[in-house]
Amino acid sequence: MSGRQIPGSVVTITGGTGSFGSTMTRHLLTQDVAEIRVFSRDESKQDAMRHAIQDSRVRFYIGDVRDEKSVNQVIRGTDLVFHAAALKQVPSGEFFPMEAVATNVTGSANVLQAGLEYGVKSIVCLSTDKAVYPINAMGMSKALMEKTAMAYARNNLDAATSISVTRYGNVMYSRGSVIPLFVDQLKRGAPLTITDPTMTRFLMSLAQSVDLVEYAFTQSDTGDLFVRKAPASTVATLLAAVARIAGVDDPDVTVIGTRHGEKLYESLLSTEEMAHAQDFGDYYRVPLDTRTLDYAPYFEEGEQQAPLEAYTSHNTTRLGVEETVALLETLPEIQQLIGSRTS
Ligand SMILES: O=c1ccn([C@@H]2O[C@H](COP(=O)(O)OP(=O)(O)O[C@H]3O[C@H](CO)[C@H](O)[C@H](O)[C@H]3O)[C@@H](O)[C@H]2O)c(=O)[nH]1
SS3 label, residue 264: coil
Q: Report how far ligand 1's centroid is from the alpha carbon of 238 (Å).
A: 12
Which residue's CA is minimally distant from atom 22 of ligand 1?
170
Does a structural domain hold residue 285? no
Does a structural domain hold residue 248? no
Mutate to test the pocket of ligand 1, among 94, 170, 192, 206 (most ligand atoms within 8 A of CB): 170
Which residue's CA is minimally distant from atom 33 of ligand 1?
195
Q: Which ipTM did the prediction report? A: 0.94
Q: Report how far ligand 1's centroid is from the alpha carbon of 177 (Å).
A: 5
Does a structural domain hold residue 91? yes
Does a structural domain hold residue 81? yes
DSSP 193-225: EES-TT-EEE-B-HHHHHHHHHHHHHHPPTT-E
Atom of ligand 1 nearest to the CA of 259: 33
SS3 label, residue 294: coil
Question: For residue 102, what is the DSSP state?
Answer: I
Q: Report how far ligand 1's centroid is from the alpha carbon of 276 (Å).
A: 29
Q: What is the pLDDT of residue 286?
A: 96
Q: How many domains does the chain have?
A: 1
Q: 225-228 and 283-286 as β-strands: parallel, antiparallel, unpaired? A: antiparallel
Which residue's CA is minimally distant from atom 23 of ligand 1?
170
Does a structural domain hold residue 40? yes
Give burial (CB, 10 Å; 0-12/13-18/19+) of 103: buried
pLDDT tens, the chain, 343 aa long: 467 999 999 999 999 999 999 999 999 999 999 999 999 999 999 999 999 999 999 999 999 999 999 999 999 999 999 999 999 999 899 999 999 999 999 999 999 999 999 999 999 999 999 999 999 999 999 999 999 999 999 999 999 999 999 999 999 998 889 999 999 999 999 999 999 999 999 999 998 889 899 999 999 999 999 999 999 999 999 999 999 999 998 999 999 999 888 999 999 999 999 999 999 999 999 999 887 777 666 555 555 555 589 999 999 999 999 999 999 999 999 998 888 876 6
- Listed in sequence order, the DSSP H helices in the chain are 19-29, 43-53, 68-75, 90-95, 97-100, 108-117, 137-155, 178-188, 206-219, 235-246, 271-274, 296-301, 321-328, 332-342
- Nearest of 126, 109, 222 to residue 169 by alpha carbon: 126
At 96, the amino acid letter reads F
Read off the pTM.
0.93
Would you name the residues annotated as active-site residues? 130
- Listed in sequence order, the DSSP H helices in 39-165 are 43-53, 68-75, 90-95, 97-100, 108-117, 137-155
Q: Please state, in angstroms and rounded to a whole number, the distance separating the CA atoms of residues 58 and 54.
A: 8
Which residue's CA is minimally distant from atom 16 of ligand 1?
170
Q: Report how far ligand 1's centroid is from the alpha carbon of 261 (Å).
A: 11
Does a structural domain hold residue 106? yes
Q: What is the CATH number of the domain that holds 213?
A: 3.40.50.720
SS3 label, residue 132: coil
Atom of ligand 1 nearest to the CA of 197: 35
Q: Domain containing 152: what range? A: 10-168+205-228
Provide the sign of the torsion angle of the four alpha carbons 147, 304, 224, 291, taken in this order: negative
Does a structural domain hold residue 298? no
Does a structural domain hold residue 116? yes
